[in-house]
Amino acid sequence: MPPGLRVYWQPGCTSCLRAKEFLSAHGIGFESINVRERPEAAGELAALGVRTVPVITRGADFVLGQDIDELARFVGVTEQRQQLSPDELADRLQALLAAAGDLLAALPQARLATRLPQRERSWLDLGFHVAMIVHGLLEAAHGGTLTYEHYERRAPAAWVDAPPTLEFLRATSARLDAWWRAARGQPAAMLTTYFGPQTTHALLERTAWHVAQHCRQLEYLAVEVARVPDAPRLAAGMLDGVPVPQAVWDREIHP
């Protein structure tokens, strides 16, 4: 019997959740391995020469789950979907950055240091992470590499309240705008990432849905956990055409 699929993931990882949902939606069974709960998982990934998640394995073969198209090819699924245009994605990303700032500003100061389940990331770090996702895109767009470390960085220790991160989000929005004004005519340009080369269009889409998912989580924290009166909500249509996961959190783990 051929070996079954194993999915290595960690809580709060948007790509992990999307990869698991993709497999489930296509009726493909897999063993779910939360690397935060399985001490041996790090050694198993290291044996493959991998240190990031999500990773989907079949025996000695594996694929990085950040790219759903690659995952589809790995499991033999033909995936067809409509994509927003690059200009639409850039505009949506700007709207999402603004929404992230509004939601972060609404969270109670006393809750900003609260940790998300099984992660070192706090509520404040989640807002910082949104900006870093876009910084990773811009790093690749300017000739560098989008690294896994872009996604793992936390807010500086001195940033104990929201204003520095809010300013960081605004500065990130300005950098994104300046870049796209110059780059919008080259959506097929190839960019370097830790999960392989990506077109500008593809990485814009991935960045948009990654940010959108975390905006959903910030909204959940404000509305469902902190119960902020009159908390801001994501605008109607904000998620249209952006392939976010169905769930806001992993069903195994949520705040």
pLDDT digit of tens for each residue in the chain (255 aa)?
357 899 999 988 899 999 999 999 999 999 999 998 998 998 999 999 988 899 999 988 999 998 888 899 999 988 777 899 999 999 999 999 999 999 999 999 999 999 998 888 999 999 999 999 999 999 999 999 999 999 999 999 999 999 999 999 999 999 999 999 999 989 999 999 999 999 999 999 999 999 999 999 999 999 999 999 999 999 999 999 999 999 999 887 777
| Residue 244 resides in a domain | no
Q: Do both 106 and 67 map to the same domain?
A: no
Q: Which position has the token pair 């500008």?
A: 200
Specify whether 48 is located in the same domain as 91.
no
The answer to whether residue 253 sits within a structural domain is: no
Strand positions, DSSP E, the chain = 5-9, 31-34, 55-58, 61-64, 145-146, 190-193, 198-199
The answer as to whether 216 is a domain residue is yes
How many domains, in total, are found in the chain? 2
pTM: 0.92
Integer Cα distance of 6 and 63 in angstroms: 11
How far is 204 from 84, CA to CA, in rounded Å?
Answer: 10
In CATH, what number is assigned to the domain containing residue 40?
Answer: 3.40.30.10
> Could you tell me if 103 and 209 lie in one domain?
yes
Write the pLDDT tens digit of every residue in 180-224. Answer: 999 998 999 999 999 999 999 999 999 999 999 999 999 999 999
- Residues 93, 144 share a domain: yes
**Domain co-membership, 52 together with 136:** no
Q: Are residues 102 and 206 both part of a single domain? A: yes
Distance of CA 34 to the CA centre of its chain: 17
Residue 254 lies in a domain: no
Neighbours of 18 (CB within 10 A): 24
| Packing angle of the helix pair 200-220, 123-141 (nearest 10 deg) | 170
Domain boundary among 42, 75, 108: 75
CB 33 within 8 A of CB 8: yes
In contact, 210 and 203? CB cutoff 8 Å? no
Domain that includes residue 17, residue range: 5-75
101 and 195 in a single domain? The answer is: yes
122 strand-pairing partners: 115
125 and 33 within one domain:
no
Residue 151 lies in a domain: yes
> How far is Cα 161 from Cα 171, in angstroms, rounded to an integer?
17
Q: Are 121 and 36 part of one and the same domain?
A: no
